[in-house]
Structures are given as structure tokens and as C-alpha cells.
Amino acid sequence: MTLFPVLVCWAAAADETANSLAPEAMAASADGQRLFVACAAANRVLALDVSSSMVARVIKVPGWPSGLALSSNGGRLYVTCAAPESTVAVFDTSNGRLQNKLRAGHTAMAPVLGPSGRTLYVCNRFDNDVSVIDLPGRREIARIPVSREPVAAALTPDGRWLLVANHLQDGRADVQRGCRRQRD
């Protein structure tokens, strides 16, 4: 069985209008027992219990949930809520309560936790940068400029490099760069 039909069944259990949930992002607990699904159209996150195939909790979020990151111990869920002035909503996963809201840039998405769990990196799609958020200090400490529209990020296993994928290339899309055309 593929994951998609399972998600549709779980979503239907949580909401009769399952087609309007619009799954946007997922995060799995380290033990594989919980799967969190950001439902963009419904402004909520579903916490799914993998062993029972049931929705364990519905977490209402303060805006369009565009990305998820889960702390290594599974105790905190970081949800980017995309807007021109985005927020990162921090939830306690044991009770689903909002713990804090952190500021981010325009259309925040793709949150990534640093290896220590003290730093959160957030792609700001329409600001063309990545926020570096100090979690204990609850504030943004830097912005890293990147190419156009960053939409995904990942840290290397050693935590030394943050890799960022962009939605658009730099410059015009109708100009070929970096490769030669083959002639027939």
C-alpha cells in the first residue's frame, strides 16, 4: 500500500471534506510512530498514529502551514505559516498547544533544525533568503541571501552545509547557460 491512499483515508477520518485539506508537508517522529501532515487549505496539522492508522490529534495553526520540522525528541513541532510576514508556530506535541510564535520572512517554508536543536533555518521564498533563528533566544539572528525563491532545504549529516533548492533560476529563463546545444 502506498502512502497517498493511507493519507487520504486518515484525512477523511478527521474531516468529511478531506479533498479540501491539501497536504503540503510531512514530518515523521524518530520512532516512526507519528506522522505529522500540514494541511494547507485547512490551516491545521494532523498528527497521525501510524500503528492504528487513526488521526491522534488535530492541531489548528495560525495560518497556511507550509512546512514542518520536528525536534529530535519529538516534543516540539515547528510549523512555518506562510504570509507576507510569516510566523513559525512552535507547538508542544504532547498536548497540541501553541508554545510560541517566531517571526520569519515572506512566505516562509521548509524549516530545518540544526543538529543541536538550538537553530532553525527557514526558507523565505519571496525574500530570496534563509532566516537563521536562535530557538532559545526566540529570535532571528541572521538572514542568508540565496538565489531566487528558496523552497526546500536540508542539512548535511555533519551539520556543516545547508543545501537550498530554488523554485526559479537566476536571471532570464529564456537564456541558456552552462551547457552547449547539440546540433542535429
Domain over 3-166 is classified CATH 2.130.10.10: yes
Q: Write down the pTM of the prediction.
A: 0.85
The predicted pLDDT at position 4 comes to 44
The predicted pLDDT at position 19 comes to 58
Long-range contact list for 77-80, CB < 8 A, 24+ apart?
Answer: 77/27, 77/36, 77/45, 78/111, 78/113, 78/120, 79/38, 79/45, 79/111, 80/104, 80/108, 80/109, 80/110, 80/111, 80/122
Closest to 129 (Cα-Cα) out of 154, 104, 112: 104
The predicted pLDDT at position 167 comes to 86
pLDDT by residue for the chain (184 residues), tens only, comes to 344 444 544 444 445 455 578 899 999 999 999 999 999 999 999 999 999 989 999 999 999 999 999 999 999 999 999 999 999 999 999 999 999 999 999 999 999 999 999 999 999 999 999 999 999 999 999 999 998 999 999 999 899 999 999 987 777 777 776 654 445 4
Cα dihedral sign for 54, 46, 35, 56? negative
The predicted pLDDT at position 18 comes to 53
Beta-carbon contacts of 146 under 8 Å, excluding residues fewer than 6 positions away, are 123, 128, 129, 130, 164, 166
Please, what's the b/e burial string for 8-35 (b: 16 or more CB within 10 A of its CB; e: otherwise)? eebbeebbeebeebebbbbbebeeeebb
- How distant, in Å, are the alpha carbons of 75, 85, 145 from that of 98? 12, 18, 30
The predicted pLDDT at position 20 comes to 74
The predicted pLDDT at position 5 comes to 43
The DSSP element (H or E) to which 123 belongs, if any, is strand 119-124
112, HSE (Cβ side, Cα atoms, 13 Å): 23
How many residues make up the chain in this entry?
A: 184
